[in-house]
Amino acid sequence: MIQDIQPKCYHNEYIPRPIREGDVVFVFRGREVLLREENDCLTFPGDMEVQEKELQYLFSIDDRAFYLGREEVPGYTFQPMRLLRRCTPQDLCFAGMTAWHLYNWYAGHRFCGRCGKPLHHHENLRALACDCGNLVFPVIAPAVIVAVTNGDKLLVTRYAGREFKGLALIAGFCEIGERAEDTVRREVMEEAGLRVKNLRYFDSQPWGYASNLLLGYFCELEGSDEIHFDQEELSSAVWVSREELEPVEENLLSLTGTMIETFRLGKE
């Protein structure tokens, strides 16, 4: 999946340092990212090209640091965020997604929610601080991805009104005071009108595109297999057999794709 960058190591400790050769700067605008595409290879601004003085340190992968910038850089253009999935090596894709997560957090937390004063970055923590004593840490929204099985069939969906048109699984955010397992049951009922049993945790994934921590579950149908899907959330929801599923063609970057492929191969 997108976070599987071994043997490289992701360091999320907040230990800022000046930018140096080989480091990368991400600049976002809306849902676009500043990049350059040459010979089907994506590159991002580096230390020798960026004139901006107040870069925001984000994190490091091995000895390579990543920063958040605000200014455009000559020779680079803003392109859709979805192009990040084409980045190679994969750790650059993961870095871009995580940088986007932090970009949205910084943009959405300029002022203290307790007293209204401007926030400033804490010296030693990845947190925003206020003179009133309030500390604001990065927002991470837990959500579930659910693979509902019925013998050799899998419940697959397609989203309604979203840019992504590929196969999906039942998904939804955890609510306040709710266990992830209860979220699974509720979301399957709300989106497909089905009951499930034998819940089994599969894996997790940080998904910075939506500030998520995704929790993947497999479960089995309980009772009727008649689907009544939420037409505001989904454009379709159908049972598909293993034989009908096609191999996932996304280098298994997403938890959803990994779970669909796991079922297709008979590993779950």
Q: pTM of the full predicted structure?
A: 0.90
Q: Specify if 1 maps to a domain.
A: no
CA distance 29 to 93: 17
Identify whether the C-beta of residue 21 lies closer than 8 Å to the C-beta of residue 69.
no
Interval 7-66: pLDDT, tens: 999 999 999 999 999 999 999 998 999 999 887 788 999 988 888 888 999 999 999 999
Helix/strand/coil for 107:
helix
Beta-strand pair 32-38/24-29: antiparallel
- Model pLDDT, residue 89: 87
Same-domain check for residues 181 and 238: yes
Helix (H, G, I), strand (E, B) or coil at 189: helix
pLDDT digits (tens, 9 = 90+) for 166-224: 889 999 999 999 999 999 999 999 999 999 999 999 999 999 988 999 999 999 999 99
Question: Domain ends where: 61, 88, 108?
Answer: 108
Beta strands in 81-226 (DSSP E): 120-121, 128-129, 135-136, 141-150, 153-159, 170-173, 195-207, 212-222
Q: What is the pLDDT of residue 165?
A: 66
Q: Is residue 4 part of a domain?
A: no
Residues 123 and 175 in one domain: no
The answer as to whether 37 is a domain residue is yes
Residues 163 and 80 in one domain: no
Residue 263, both tokens: 């079922």
Number of domain units in the chain: 3
Residue 213 and residue 206 in contact, taking contact as beta carbons nearer than 8 Å: yes
How many CA atoms are closer than 13 Å to the CA of 234, on its beta-carbon side? Answer: 23
Same domain, residue pair 36 and 47: yes
Judge whether 72 and 34 are in contact, CB under 8 Å. yes
Q: Are residues 125 and 227 in the same domain?
A: no
- Domain range holding 247? 141-264
Average pLDDT over residues 104-132: 95
Is the same domain home to 200 and 257?
Answer: yes
